[in-house]
Amino acid sequence: MRPFKMIAMGLLAWPVAEIAAFVIVATFVGISTALLLMILISIVGLLVLRRFSSGFTRLRASAGHVDIAGVSFDGTGMAPGLGGILLVIPGFITGVLGVLVFFPMSRRWLLAGCRLLFAPAGRRPAGPGTIDLTPDEWKPLPGPKPPPDREPAARLNQRPLP
């Protein structure tokens, strides 16, 4: 299935999944407690976004006074912003995803899952020991057997060292 269709189907199924998650949580803790939890999760998301955006505000203010040649964002980069946005969106599934984005290990798991999900059909993502070449950088072998190794012949032409 194409990535665009998968994203469209996911966006259409997301509200249904959020409603189902709300119903499940509400059956365990009650409707009023579930609503209160959703409001608290959104408030936490707003606080995270406020803290995240204050760093950009300070950076913008300092850039007005001094010329900055380069900026190095140490730490997790955009992860707190994405986590805050996911926390602000009402729902328990988005809240769990927002919390998972904050932790580096779970962020790696989410990225690996997305890579597998959006990999081209019939092709797995390359491992760390794989060199991926473009079609103009290689040519197929003429037969099923590899060509003979030319290195031993080159060694025969060399004189032995005394």
Domain ranges of the chain: 1-65+78-120
Please state, as a whole number, how many other Cβ atoms lie within 10 Å of the Cβ of residue 95: 24
Specify the pLDDT at position 61: 58
Residue-level length of the chain: 162
Query: What pLDDT score does 48 carry?
Result: 86
Question: What integer pLDDT is reported at residue 72 of this predicted model?
Answer: 38
pTM for the whole thing? 0.58
Question: How many whole angstroms separate alpha carbon 122 and alpha carbon 31?
Answer: 45
pLDDT at 74: 39
Report which of 115, 117, 87 is spatially closest to residue 7, judged by C-alpha positions: 117
Give the per-residue pLDDT at 58. 57
H helices, E strands: number in the chain: 6, 0
- Each as own residue / partner, the long-range contacts of residues 20-25 (CB below 8 Å, 24 or more positions apart, any chain) are 21/91, 21/92, 21/93, 22/91, 22/92, 25/92
Taking 70 as the pLDDT cut, the residues of the chain under it are 1, 3, 54-77, 118-127, 146-162
pLDDT of residue 122: 59
Tell me, what's the pLDDT at 79?
Answer: 76
